[in-house]
Amino acid sequence: MAEGALSLAAFAASYIGFALLALRQAPHHARVAASPRRAPPAAAMRQRNLWLGTAALGASLGVCLSSRGPSFGAILWVLLLAAGGLGVTFTLAFRPRWLRPLQRGSAERGSPHLPRGATER
Amino acid sequence: MLGEPLRRAWARLHTWAGVVLGGVLFAVFWMGTLSVFDHEIDRWMMPPTRLAAAPPVSLDAAARAVAALAPGAAQWSLTLPSARTPTVQVRLPGSDALLHLDPSTFAELRPAPTLGGTGFIFPFHFMLHIDWLDLGLWIVGLCGMAMLVLTLSGVLIHKRILRDFFMFRPRKAATRSLLDLHTALGVLALPFHLVMPLSGLVIFFALFFPGTWQAAFDGDEAAFGREVFGSYQRPTAGAPGTLSSLDAMAAEAQRRWQGGRPFQVRLQLAGDAASYVEMRRAHTQDVSMNRDAIYFDAATGAVLERFESKPIGAVQRFIAGIHFVQFEQWLLRWLYFCAGLAGCVMIATGLWFWLESRRAEHARRGWVGVRLVEALATGSVSGIIAATLAFFIANRCLPEAASAWGLGRQRLELVAFYGVWLGMFCHAGWRGRAAWGEQCAAIAGLSCGAVALNWITTGDHPLRALSRGATSVAAMDGVLLLLGVVCWLAARRWRVRVAAPEPALELARGVVPSSEG
């Protein structure tokens, strides 16, 4: 059960990590904001998302390795990366607004409140 | 990064290798994806073996049951129940058939003859059931190599791999959204698409790359076999012998493997004074598909030999383990299944993109290319899915003693598979573009039919199967229903699309367009 919860956390970290990286890109940024005229993501925000996103993906690896050991953990991480990345791709295609909290959290308030839940598990 | 002429050359390679081998690749991927759950498919196709998780089995009691089943057999092997196969499986000399015994009573369970998932779907994945000259193995090996080339060339020709990392535009023209989906699945599951063909080739290294072991062992196949497989043997003594406690040997093996359990026990030279027992270690706890074995003297229970792979062999077993997924990690098993399906969709969208981007031009010039490739692609994508479902349905419909044209029940299931597959190719050739949607509708009907037939013939509807511990049956029914719903939606969508065809993008032939559609 605990193993399942940790895997879910690892998936969440991979999803959030990829979402933050996707939001660095102007077309996705505009799509999530639902306004084509919105200014492209600021350099500071792009930088922050790069670090936070990478950290979230790294946290996902950490959770996988610590909960399932090096060999199963590594395989699980690679597959969860694919799942998280495809999850973000489909969210952006069909429900881009779902990612708005991430945009607000990282772009305007500047507080990295989302990945924390995932990284501390 | 890559010069334009070079990129075009890679693109041509990607396009034509994909078009020529896409159909076979899809078959290999589809059957491989199903093989992830081959034992679960066996449970579905062999209803008497749908038991709840087995209690621990006494090997001595099992050995007595086997002796009663085949008195005087000089050798036999038995496989202990596992989380995936809840029966004791026995193989007797002179027969290919695997007998299933109830783990608590050791009564023989008699499923109607079928090859099932492990006997048909899994071998199809790696040899296409073409025995002649190992041709099937070589074709799959070629596909593995081609998959590596396709994956790498796909990355090389992708102009804006980072900018389009998360790009999927389902509402744009068919060519645009198909290419988006093809590249998104290809790039995001890239490690999987590289590791699977590579590990598959490594599994069959002795066949595909014979130079490796021939050079190392000077062509001495026996020495190679001894070192890689650890085949211990000794001659008969010619005097009668006894068999001491197998449970004690299993306990000793477990102690030496530091908790690793035996999963298979093989008795050789039964009844002879030189009789010996081979215990093989289970693959459930590690990624590596170890070849660890301990040989015991049957009469005394003394250890004769212990085999463990040497370092290079151990690496090969680890890589094989990544491919075979024999470990008991259910989340990983499901993720493998999903990644396999993603691979299937990637191959199918690649083929569809080729068709959609050339349809208008070929029609204008009166070329047969698109028509021909479309028939082959439809037959090998939706056709093989429908054929697999026909295989399941035949399994649930054919009576136990069925025979026709001199073929037994087991063969008739295959007739259903290959007959429907051939029929789907013919249908695709006849109906052209409309065939996709019609075959999707057929798949939807067949998969719901398979679930209904399972309910009618065994009484196991998904909820009942779940409540009595036959999780694999419930899960398979669930996946079939999901497939039915998805294909029904796809069929409806396809009808709309065919009714209002979209203008194809202007594309240079053989070149993947830049990302702005």
pLDDT digit string, tens, across residues B268-304:
998 899 999 999 999 988 899 999 999 999 999 999 9
Total residues found in chain A within this entry: 121
Q: Which residues of B touch A21 (CB under 8 A)?
A: 165
Contacts of A81 in chain B (CB under 8 A): 188, 191
pLDDT value at position B400?
87
Helix residue ranges, H only, B235-282: 246-256
Alpha carbons B505 and B284: distance in angstroms, whole number: 50
Question: Is A1 touching B (CB cutoff 8 A)?
Answer: no
Cα distances from A72 to residues A57, A98, B261, in angstroms, run 17, 31, 19
Residue stretches of chain B with pLDDT short of 50: 502-517
CA-based R_g, chain B, Å? 26
**Model pLDDT, residue B508:** 38
Cross-sheet strand order for the sheet of B303-307: B108-109, B98-101, B88-91, B76-79, B262-268, B276-281, B293-297, B303-307
Whose CA is closest to A103, among A113, A90, A116? A113
Q: Which of B335, B453, B431 is nearest to B383 (CA)?
A: B431
Neighbours of B272 (CB within 10 A): 19
CA dihedral (A15, A21, A23, A25) positive or negative? negative
How far from A64 is each of A5, A70, B332, B517, CA to CA, in Å?
11, 8, 12, 39
Summarised one tens digit per residue, pLDDT across range B14-35 is: 999 999 999 999 999 999 999 9
The CA angle B141-B145-B149, to the nearest 5 degrees, is 160
Q: What is the pLDDT of residue A108?
A: 46
Backbone angles phi, psi at B234, to 5 degrees: -150, 155
State whether the Cα torsion B311-B316-B320-B322 is positive or negative. positive
Q: In a 10 Å sphere around its CB, with 0-12 CB exposed, 13-18 middle and 19+ buried, how is residue B164 labelled? A: buried
User: B339: distance to nearest CA of chain A, Å?
Assistant: 8
Going from N- to C-terminal start, the domains of chain B cover: 4-45+119-203+333-499
CA angle B11, B17, B19 (to 5 degrees): 100
Task: Give residue B212's pLDDT.
Answer: 86
Longest dimension (CA), chain A: 47
Nearest CB neighbour to A85, from listed B188, B288, B335: B188
Inter-axis angle of helices B330-365 and A43-94, nearest 10 = 80
Instruction: Determine, for residues B170 and A93 on separate chains, whether the beta-carbon distance falls below 8 Å.
Output: yes
User: Which residues of chain B have a Cβ shorter than 8 Å from any chain A Cβ?
Assistant: 163, 165-170, 184-185, 188-189, 191-192, 286-288, 318, 322, 327, 329, 331-332, 335-336, 338-339, 342
Query: Do B276 and B268 touch, CB atoms closer than 8 A?
Result: yes
pLDDT of the residue at B501:
53
pLDDT for the residue numbered B230: 82
Note the residue count of chain B: 517
pLDDT for the residue B510: 42
Residue pair B405/B356 in contact (Cβ under 8 Å)? The answer is no
Q: State whether B188 and A68 contact (CB < 8 Å).
A: no
What distance in Å separates the CA atoms of residue B398 and residue B387, rounded to the nearest whole number? 16
Highest mean pLDDT among A26-35, A101-110, B456-465 belongs to: B456-465
CB-based contact B453:B33 (threshold 8 Å):
no
CB-CB neighbors (< 8 A) of B167 in chain A: 27, 89
Chain A closest CA to B318's CA: distance in Å? 10
Task: Assess A88–B contact: CB distance below 8 Å, yes or no.
Answer: yes
CA distance linking residue B208 with residue A20, whole number of Å: 44
With an 8 Å Cβ cutoff, is A4 touching chain B? Answer: yes
Separation of alpha carbons B480 and B475, rounded Å: 9
- Chain B: give the shortest CA distance to residue A105, in Å: 20
For residue A85, the chain B residues in CB contact (below 8 A) are 165-166, 188
Contact (CB<8Å) A71/B336 = no
Q: How far apart are CA A19 and CA B290, in angstroms?
A: 39
Residue B504 has a pLDDT of: 44
Contact (CB, 8 A) for B87 and B81 = yes
Q: Partners of B95 in the beta sheet?
A: none
Closest residue to A79, CB basis, from B169, B170, B192 = B192
B169 with A93: Cβ contact below 8 A: yes
Tell which of A89, A90, A102 to mutate to test the B interface (max B CBs under 10 Å): A89
Q: What are phi and psi of B100, to 5 degrees?
A: -105, 130
Q: Do B188 and A81 touch (CB under 8 A)?
A: yes
CB B332 to CB A93 under 8 A?
Answer: no
Q: Given CB atoms, is A12 within the 8 Å cutoff of chain B?
A: no
Q: Average pLDDT, stretch A80-99?
A: 94
**Chain A residue nearest residue B168, CA to CA:** A93
Residue A116 pLDDT greater than 50, yes or no:
no
Cα–Cα distance for residue pair A41/A34, rounded to 1 Å: 14
Tokens of B356: 């959609």
Query: Which chain A residue has its CA at the smallest distance from B516's CA?
Result: A27
The whole-angstrom separation of Cα B437 and Cα B491 is 4
Considering only the beta carbons, identify the residue of B163, B165, B339 that sits closest to A82: B339
How open is the CA angle B442-B49-B61, to the nearest 5 degrees? 165
Contact B189 A89 (CB under 8 A): no
Handedness of CA B464, B469, B473, B478 (dihedral sign): positive
Contacts (Cβ under 8 Å, ≥6 apart) of B451: B462, B477, B480, B481, B484
pTM recorded for the entire structure: 0.91
Handedness of CA B36, B39, B40, B44 (dihedral sign): positive
Asked whether the predicted pLDDT for residue A112 surpasses 90, the reply is no
Residues of B in contact with A80 (CB under 8 A): 335
Q: How confident is the model at residue A45 (pLDDT cuts 50, 70, 90)?
A: confident
Tokens of B19: 């078009």
- Phi then psi dihedrals of residue B104, to 5 deg: -100, -35
Query: Under DSSP, is residue B235 helix (H, G, I), strand (E, B) or coil?
Result: coil
